[in-house]
């Protein structure tokens, strides 16, 4: 018995998809990649990505959604694969074949993106004309009864092609604002015919799709459907949880073998999958459907660490652990758990860079896995690096994310690596960020993972030791990497050395306890994080000031709206378009948008404008810089910088 089977017996017990048996209870959930060609043909890059997901050990592997209509009304992503014609079957078969190589069941997803579709058109389609709340999408057009009948048949023909391509099952997407969910929700469905009205009417369109597919594929071919358990759209007239349960029951009774339950829409005004939502938070939604529908249920949202799905499986809350972003971050997650190597799993930080990229019509990338999209390229080392035959002595200054990443990769390639950190603990700004509220403690999962990789590959980490030019000379490394990160810029403003002036790092690390009235100087993500840290601690009157018209422009869209809402709820005063002039003992002197000089009174001024830390100067031999030591950015840049640099060694 392997370690994972002993520790997580329910995850690694055989499961059932219809009459088919799965080797475990892990289902890789569908995600778009934008790797395919713009006309819907499957690309080699997509096949390599799907092979990685199958090779990683999941029992069920689901493709990205395939659009079913020639016009492209259902196409929501520039690199979305197509299934509207038999000519696409050979390309789709490549994916089914590569999944089967690794003893996994292959499932193809059919997806019509509805009101968020029509990526190459100037309109979208749906049950009714309801204005878009998200500005990036196009205006909707109401589908006629003929349109609906054609769309149903397109889904049926897509399922037929799925069978012919050799997939073991078919999945229908009806979540987050895609077409099926548009019909289901009272927010977007205002029809008065048989496809609208009450819950039964709103369920009729997806019910007919399921029934049509069941008739076409026969009684034994597995059908999965993804549906919202709770839309989180009550603020704009959406369906209640009770209605969602009723409609899902109607739809599933038409011939579904497994239900994948999700929560929320892209238009929901509540957070669903960001870090401020605790892991396991949505399992109660899945549990309700498991109990009421008596149908195998799976769920993906906020289930990154195996202890959460294991407990849910043991309690009968879900039948399968569905994993999406966690397996974008590391497709090898199932096998690493099985082999007892959880520390080797690249941990998803729920940074949602993957989603931000897709919504901007770019290829999928991952904040923590630079190899995403390079699975077939040996030089990128997704399946490991070939040991170098030219071993070098490498000194890395700084054990933040960039330094740890560079050290781990260089050591894996066989180099002699030593990482120096002047603080007593590793992690740099990530370790400080982990002290923040609302899930930021998860950053330590990333720090611990990188430290483990360094240790396993032989990279030495020395803490509590500040590097000097003399040390470098004495060590005589072949290469020096400055991963010294960034520091709040004390010298940028007059009065920056005042006794009432502290840095954001000192405040969050607990070195300095601010007075009651605090002004945070800065308008980027670091300043917002500092303000939120103080709000969470309580007892402070917090203001934040900066020249930007809009704060947090460097923050992922999935988070900035949440952060701004929390700042407002926390009573934080925002001084936008204010240019800070001077820091004084009684407050911050600034110039307001009208050109007037104002003083914002406070007890403590906290500096949160970051600048590269270039305190250590050394330019002899091969010297490199990575991460914030070059220019201040977000954590993903540090990780990618460190990886790419070490690849070149």
pLDDT in tens, 525-571: 999 999 999 999 999 999 999 999 999 999 999 899 999 999 999 99
| CB-based contacts of 579-586 (< 8 A; 24+ apart in sequence) | 579/547, 580/493, 580/521, 580/545, 580/546, 580/547, 581/493, 581/494, 582/493, 582/494, 582/495, 583/493, 583/494, 583/495, 583/496, 583/498, 583/500, 583/501, 583/521, 584/495, 584/498, 585/498, 585/499, 585/500
The Cα 291–Cα 316 span in angstroms is 9
Helix intervals (H) in 517-614? 525-537, 557-569
Q: For 363-408, how does the pLDDT look when each residue is reduced to its tens digit (9 = 90+)?
A: 999 999 999 999 999 999 999 999 999 999 999 999 999 999 999 9
pLDDT in tens, 102-159: 999 999 999 999 999 999 999 999 999 999 887 778 899 999 999 999 999 999 999 9
Pull the structure tokens for residue 82. Answer: 């197509």
Return the pLDDT at 136: 76
Alpha helix locations (H) across 112-178?
Answer: 145-164
Average pLDDT over residues 158-187: 98
User: What's the whole-model pTM score?
Assistant: 0.96
DSSP for 381-407, please give it: -TT-PPPPSS--EEEEE--SHHHHHHH
Q: What average pLDDT does range 238-247 have in this prediction?
A: 97
**Nearest one of 126, 118, 121 to 143, comparing CA atoms:** 126
What's the rounded Cα separation, in Å, for the pair 102 and 53?
A: 10
113 phi-psi bin (left φ>0, alpha ψ -120 to 50, beta other): alpha
List, as one string, the DSSP characters of 47-66. Answer: HHHHHHHHHTT-SEEEEEEE
Mean local confidence (pLDDT), 351-365: 95
What's 253-283 look like in SS3? Answer: CCCCCEEEEEECECCCCCCCCCCCCCCCCCH
Inter-residue contact 203 to 247 (CB < 8 Å): yes
* Average pLDDT rounded to a whole number, residues 357-363: 94
Predicted pLDDT of residue 540: 97
> 3-state DSSP call for residue 501?
strand
- pLDDT score, position 240: 97
Considering only CA atoms, which of 579, 593, 523 is closest in space to residue 551?
A: 523
Is the pLDDT score of 603 beyond 90? yes
Q: What ranges make up the beta strands (E) of 278-325?
A: 297-299, 320-323
For residues 409 and 415, what is the distance between their CA atoms, to the nearest angstrom?
Answer: 9
- Enter the DSSP assignment of 494: B
pLDDT of 171 strictly over 90? yes
Question: How far is Cα 118 from Cα 123, in angstroms, rounded to an integer?
Answer: 6
Please tell me the predicted confidence (pLDDT) of residue 467. 97
Q: In order of start, what are the domains of the chain with their CATH numbers? A: 3-378 (3.20.20.70), 385-485+613-647 (3.40.50.720), 488-611 (3.50.50.60)
Q: What percent of the chain has pLDDT over 90?
A: 97
Residue 490's pLDDT is what? 86
β-strand pairing of 486-488 with 610-612? antiparallel
pLDDT digits (tens, 9 = 90+) for 52-102: 999 999 999 999 999 999 999 999 999 999 999 999 999 999 999 999 999
How confident is the model at residue 135, as a pLDDT?
Answer: 77
Q: What pLDDT digit, counting tens, does each position of 466-483 carry?
A: 999 999 999 999 999 999
Tokens of 246: 């009723």
pLDDT in tens, 494-508: 999 999 999 999 999
By C-alpha distance, which of 636, 627, 630 is closest to 402? 627
């Amino acid at each position: 018995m392997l370690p994972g089977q002993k520790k997580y017996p329910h995850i690694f017990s055989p499961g059932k998809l219809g009459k088919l048996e799965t080797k475990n209870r892990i289902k890789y959930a569908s995600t778009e990649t934008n790797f395919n060609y713009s006309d819907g043909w499957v690309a080699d890059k997509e096949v390599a990505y799907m092979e990685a997901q199958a090779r990683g050990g999941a029992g069920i592997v689901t493709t990205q959604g395939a659009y079913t209509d020639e016009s492209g009304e259902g196409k929501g992503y520039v690199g979305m694969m197509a299934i509207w014609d038999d000519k696409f079957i050979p390309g789709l078969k490549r994916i089914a074949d590569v999944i089967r190589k690794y003893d996994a069941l292959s499932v193809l997803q059919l997806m019509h993106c509805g009101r968020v579709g029509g990526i190459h058109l100037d309109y979208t389609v749906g049950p009714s004309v309801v204005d878009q709340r998200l500005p990036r999408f196009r205006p909707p057009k109401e589908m006629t009864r003929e349109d609906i009948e054609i769309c149903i048949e397109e889904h049926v023909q897509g399922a037929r092609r799925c069978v012919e391509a050799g997939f073991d099952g078919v999945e229908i997407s009806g979540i987050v604002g895609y077409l099926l969910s548009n019909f289901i929700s009272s927010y977007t469905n205002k029809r008065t015919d048989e496809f609208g009205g009450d819950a039964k009417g709103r369920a009729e369109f997806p019910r007919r799709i399921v029934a049509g597919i069941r008739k076409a594929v026969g009684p034994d071919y597995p059908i999965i459907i993804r549906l919202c358990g709770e839309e989180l759209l009550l603020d704009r007239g959406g369906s209640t949880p009770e209605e969602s349960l009723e409609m899902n029951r109607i739809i599933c009774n038409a011939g579904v073998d497994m239900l994948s339950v999700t929560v929320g829409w892209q238009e929901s005004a509540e957070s669903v999958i960001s870090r401020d939502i605790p892991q396991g938070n949505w399992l109660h939604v899945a549990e309700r459907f498991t109990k009421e529908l008596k149908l195998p249920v799976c769920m993906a949202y906020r289930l990154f660490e195996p202890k959460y799905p294991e407990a849910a499986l043991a309690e009968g809350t879900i039948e399968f652990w569905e994993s999406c972003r966690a397996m974008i971050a590391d497709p090898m997650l199932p096998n690493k758990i099985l082999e007892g190597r959880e520390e080797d799993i690249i941990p998803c930080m729920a940074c949602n860079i993957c989603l931000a990229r897709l919504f901007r019509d770019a290829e999928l990338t991952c904040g923590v896995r630079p190899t995403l999209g390079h699975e077939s390229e040996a030089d990128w080392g997704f399946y490991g690096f070939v040991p170098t035959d030219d071993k070098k002595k490498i000194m890395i200054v700084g054990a933040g994310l960039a330094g740890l990443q560079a050290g781990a990769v260089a050591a894996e390639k066989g180099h002699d690596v030593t990482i120096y950190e002047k603080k007593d603990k590793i992690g740099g700004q990530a370790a400080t960020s982990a002290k923040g509220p609302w899930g930021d403690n998860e950053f330590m999962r990333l720090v611990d993972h990188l430290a483990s990789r360094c240790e396993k590959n032989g990279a030495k980490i020395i803490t509590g030791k500040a590097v000097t030019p003399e040390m470098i000379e004495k060590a005589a490394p072949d290469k020096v990497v400055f991963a010294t990160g960034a520091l709040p810029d004390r010298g940028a403003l007059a009065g920056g050395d005042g006794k009432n002036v502290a840095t954001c790092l000192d405040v969050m690390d607990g070195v300095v306890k601010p007075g009651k009235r605090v002004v945070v100087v800065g308008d980027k993500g670091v300043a917002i994080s500092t303000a939120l840290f103080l709000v969470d601690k309580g007892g402070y009157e917090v203001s934040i000031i900066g020249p930007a018209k809009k704060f947090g422009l460097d923050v992922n869209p999935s988070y900035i709206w949440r952060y701004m809402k929390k700042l407002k709820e926390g009573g934080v005063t925002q001084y936008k378009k204010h240019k800070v002039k001077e820091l004084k003992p009684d407050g911050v002197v600034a110039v307001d948008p009208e050109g007037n000089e104002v003083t914002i009174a406070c007890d403590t001024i906290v500096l949160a404008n970051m600048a590269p830390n270039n305190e250590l100067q050394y330019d002899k031999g091969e010297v490199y810089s990575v991460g914030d030591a070059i220019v201040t950015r977000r954590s993903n840049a540090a990780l990618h910088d460190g990886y790419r640099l070490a690849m070149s060694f």
